[in-house]
Chains A and B, each alone.
Chain A
Amino acid sequence: MMTIKLQIVIGLAILVVFLILVNMIRRRSLELKYALSWFLVLCALFAFDCAPRLLIVVSEFLGIYAPVNMIFFLGFCFSLVIIFSLTVALSRMSNSVRTLDQMVALNEKRLQELETELKRYKKEEN
């Protein structure tokens, strides 16, 4: 079902992706919080890569005929979960941006007013 060569290639690919993820977190371009789910995927893939029999066992357990169908199905479900969590995060983010934007605008207004008041005050002092 899977040659040893393919297993090694896939294993190496997983390792490379893992290193890229770690490096991105190290450089702070990826939040650890959001990387956790991807680490989970990598772990699952690695487990299946090391023991391909697992695939058959799991798909039989779930009552799915072909292991490949199970991969498609689970992958699809997992993608949906990630996309959904992204829209939730996006909603929260856009609310924060709105509040920040409004506060910046109002503070700038306040600052301008204080500046003109200060100028007038200084003029009166002289």
Chain B
Amino acid sequence: MENRKLVIIPAFNESGSILKAVEDIREHAPDFDYVVINDCSTDDTLALCQKQGLNYVNLPVNLGIGGAVQTGYLYGCQYGYEVAVQFDGDGQHDAAYLGMMARTLLETKSDMVIGSRFIEKEGFQSSGIRRIGIRYFSGLLWVLTGKRVTDPTSGMRMVNREVMQIYAENYPKDYPEPESVMAILRMGKKVTEVPVVMKKRKEGISSIGGVKSIYYMIKVTLAILMERLRR
């Protein structure tokens, strides 16, 4: 059987950019299937999916990014995919990297491949204060696991079937990226990073900013420490 690959596109009110993301995948990553997870959007994302005949799963209750992505992993397990990759629908990610990531996953026998902005330091590098936050999480992971992850907050992550199943069972609810990397590092899974260039988001705003960023730092730090205490 061929190596079936799935792109998970979590979408909450992304009707302005979701089509572009899907076209990007069809054009630049044709050997990937995709599924849009509509996280109970309040705009016309659902109507757009229906009208355009996109492959979508519609969550009747809003779950937030973690729950939506987890639905994608559940879908991947249920439909027998070997590889799943998370891909944001807001125009930050570039589908042209997916093929390269899949090859890396196979060649290095990794369990997860992360598209990192900070290896070659090209493209949109996030604001200074955010970079400090990202470096902090990177350091925290290094102290706790001894592994280097330069971009633990990257949303562009490809995983194999084994990790897909782990995430289908357990995945953090909000701001899931650093915490879930920690979880599989603790299980002794191999995580590899590849350099990617990300764009500044075209549509929508980051879910992190202002008072929320304080909550973000505290919550993710605690979550990572808690993950260290498990097993």
Interface digits, A82-126 against B, CB 8 Å rule (1 contact, 0 not)?
000000000000000110011011101100000000000000000
Smallest Cβ-Cβ distance to A97: which chain B residue: B61
Once bound together, how far apart are the Cα atoms of A115 and B16, in whole Å? Answer: 29
Which one, B61, B63, B67, B74, contacts A106 given CB within 8 A?
B74
Q: In the complex, are the beta carbons of A106 and B60 less than 8 A apart?
A: no
In the assembled complex, the Cα of A98 lies from the Cα of B63 at a distance in Å of 7
CB distance from A33 to the nearest CB of B (A): 25
The answer to whether B58 has its CB under 8 Å from any CB of chain A is yes
Does more than half of chain A's interface fall in helix, strand or loop, or is it mixed? Answer: helix
Pairwise interchain contact A102-B71, C-beta atoms closer than 8 A: yes
Majority SS of interface residues in chain B?
mixed
Bin chain B's interface residue count.
10 to 19
Collect the chain A residues with CB atoms within 8 Å of residue B70's CB: 98, 102
Contact B60 A104 (CB under 8 A): yes
Query: In the complex, what residue of chain A is closest to B66 when comparing beta carbons?
Result: A98
Which residue of chain B is the closest to A101 with respect to CB atoms?
Answer: B61
B75 interface hit (Cβ, 8 Å) = yes
Size bracket of the A interface:
under 10
Determine the chain A residues whose CB is within 8 A of the CB of B74 once the complex forms.
102, 106
**Most B-side CB within 10 Å, residue of A97, A104, A106:** A106
Least Cβ–Cβ distance between A95 and chain B, in angstroms: 9
With contact pairs A106-B74, A106-B78 given, residues A98 and B67 touching in the complex (Cβ less than 8 Å): yes
> Which residue of chain A has the shortest Cβ distance to B67 in the bound complex?
A98
Contacts of A105 on B, CB cut-off 8 Å?
Answer: 37, 57-60, 71
B38: nearest residue on chain A (CB-CB)? A105
Closest to A102 in B: B71
B58: A residues at CB distance < 8 A:
105, 108-109
Which residues of chain B come closer than 8 Å to A97, judged between CB atoms? 61
Chain B residues whose C-beta falls within 8 Å of the C-beta of A101 in the assembled complex = 59-61, 63, 67
A97 and B62 CA atoms in complex are apart in Å by 10
Which chain A residues lie closer than 8 Å to B71 at the CB level? 102, 105-106
Q: What are the 7 A-B residue pairs with the smallest beta carbon separation, nearest first?
A: A101-B61, A105-B59, A102-B71, A105-B57, A109-B57, A98-B67, A101-B59
Question: Which residues of A are at the interface with B, using a C-beta cutoff of 8 A?
Answer: 97-98, 101-102, 104-106, 108-109
| 6 new A-B contacts at CB < 8 Å, known A102-B71, A102-B74, A105-B57 | A98-B70, A101-B67, A102-B67, A106-B75, A106-B78, A109-B57
A-B pairs with beta carbons under 8 Å apart, 18 shown: A98-B70, A101-B59, A101-B60, A101-B61, A101-B67, A102-B63, A102-B67, A102-B70, A102-B74, A104-B59, A104-B60, A105-B37, A105-B58, A105-B59, A105-B60, A106-B57, A106-B78, A108-B58
